[in-house]
């Protein structure tokens, strides 16, 4: 700015900077440069600083920095480079004029240009397909999320494992039944994150919380949900106890293969959905999913169950009417949905009845047959909801349910087969 003010005294700015070569002949007509500071100009009386300027001889034409240009007025004149005077304040506080810029200014300009040069060099070293960190961060922040907010909400509500009751978690990993787990919690044998927990309703996350039962730590990973259809034989009880006559003992080969293929994971705790008495055979669902078992077995589901009852003697119309009218079971009148006398088969001479119920109370079908004055020989369950016992599934055998079987299982139907 100071240099511009100094030049404005003797040369108009447009003509000075429109010509890139400053002619020393024009500058030679000015004997001195007068400088007045802005602070001094505001006062009534101020002093001026004058600089005597002398110009050296023009460089030879072969100098590279000289820009040769012929003047229209003097063709023989030699073009001279532009000279920019720098007015600086010295260490003594006095203003001086020099032809080169101050050292501090040159250093500051060099430091300002250095990061740009280094960045260009680093960009050259990177492959053409690589992006800079700033570009990638901008692209990451501006790019759309992988999943929408609605999809993430659906995952959190329906798929992601939510904190569950402590008693339910213990039963899910196979510690014991839900009721037995509650007893362990009340007895102070369960710790959560180092503290004894005596409330079965405490919400825990098995993946995050540290849970110990009788000094043994629970696995951080729950076993997968399993669903089986079992053809229960006669003489087996529907219990999860370690008993040779429990229906769970029929899954010994499954547990053996599970331990081999899933080392380190606890064995799934299987249990039956509902019950069949010890003398009843046929279809029963075995799973480790408590919510599924509750949904299927609860009376509010209204799922029908179909039984085939073989009886002694002759069945008359009076017997069928008596069964259809229902009977008292545990103080509640239980009426079957349908009763039908099946045709005689060559392999058996005993009459068979198809009885469909939806209450599912203890010994309900047996009480219906008994109240009608008939003697029951055998009882077999062949259907739950819309899922029928596979005809090729032998006694004591099981089959894992497929996705299509769940829709049949939870479908309420009374269609006769």
Residues marked as catalytic: 277
The answer to whether the beta carbons of residues 311 and 377 sit under 8 Å apart is: yes
Run of H or E including 398: strand 398-400
Give me the residues paired with residue 3 across strands.
none
- Which residues have C-beta within 8 Å of that of residue 36, sequence separation ≥ 6? 46, 48, 49
- Which residues have C-beta within 8 Å of that of residue 279, sequence separation ≥ 6? 234, 235, 378, 379
**Helices 364-371, 317-325: inter-axial angle, 10-degree rounding:** 130
> Is the four-CA dihedral 245, 247, 249, 250 of positive or negative sign?
positive
In order of 68, 185, 246, the CA distances from 176 in angstroms are 101, 12, 15
Report d(CA 70, CA 128) in Å as an integer: 47
The answer to whether the beta carbons of residues 162 and 173 sit under 8 Å apart is: no
Report d(CA 170, CA 213) in Å as an integer: 9
Give the three-class secondary structure for 15. helix
CA 60 and chain centroid, separation:
77
């Amino acid at each position: 700015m100071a240099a511009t003010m100094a030049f404005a005294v003797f040369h108009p700015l447009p003509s000075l900077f429109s010509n890139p070569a400053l002619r020393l002949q024009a500058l030679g007509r000015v004997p001195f440069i007068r400088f007045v500071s802005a602070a001094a100009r505001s006062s009534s009386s101020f002093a001026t600083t004058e600089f005597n300027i002398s110009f050296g001889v023009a460089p030879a034409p072969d100098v590279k920095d000289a820009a040769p240009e012929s003047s229209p007025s003097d063709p023989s004149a030699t073009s001279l480079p532009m000279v920019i005077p720098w007015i600086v304040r010295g260490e003594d506080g006095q203003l001086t004029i020099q032809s080169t810029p101050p050292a501090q200014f040159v250093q500051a300009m060099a430091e300002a240009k250095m990061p740009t040069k280094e960045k260009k060099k680093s960009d050259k070293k990177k492959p053409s397909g690589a992006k800079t960190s700033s570009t990638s961060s901008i692209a990451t922040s501006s790019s759309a999320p992988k999943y929408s907010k609605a999809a993430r909400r659906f995952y959190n509500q329906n798929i992601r494992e939510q904190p569950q009751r402590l008693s339910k978690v213990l039963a899910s990993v196979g510690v014991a039944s839900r009721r037995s787990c509650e007893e362990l919690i009340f007895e102070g044998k369960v710790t959560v994150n180092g503290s004894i927990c005596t409330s079965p309703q405490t919400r825990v996350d098995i993946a995050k919380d540290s849970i110990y039962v009788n000094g043994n730590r629970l696995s951080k990973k729950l076993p997968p949900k399993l669903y089986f259809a079992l053809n229960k034989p006669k003489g087996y009880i529907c219990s999860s106890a370690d008993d040779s006559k429990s229906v769970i003992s029929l899954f010994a080969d499954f547990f053996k293969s599970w331990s081999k293929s899933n080392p380190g994971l606890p064995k799934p705790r299987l249990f039956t959905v509902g019950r069949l008495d010890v003398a009843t055979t046929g279809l029963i669902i075995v799973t480790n999913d408590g919510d599924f078992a509750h949904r299927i077995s609860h009376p509010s589901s209204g799922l029908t169950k179909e039984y085939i009852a073989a009886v002694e003697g002759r069945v008359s119309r009076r017997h069928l009417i008596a069964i259809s009218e229902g009977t008292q079971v545990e103080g509640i009148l239980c009426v079957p949905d349908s009763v039908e006398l099946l045709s005689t088969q060559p392999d058996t001479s005993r009459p068979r009845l198809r009885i469909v119920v939806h209450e599912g109370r203890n010994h309900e079908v047996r009480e219906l047959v008994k109240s009608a004055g008939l003697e029951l020989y055998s009882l077999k369950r062949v259907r739950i909801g819309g899922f029928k016992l596979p005809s090729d599934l032998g006694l004591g055998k099981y089959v894992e349910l497929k996705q299509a079987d769940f829709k049949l299982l939870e479908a309420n139907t009374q269609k006769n087969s």
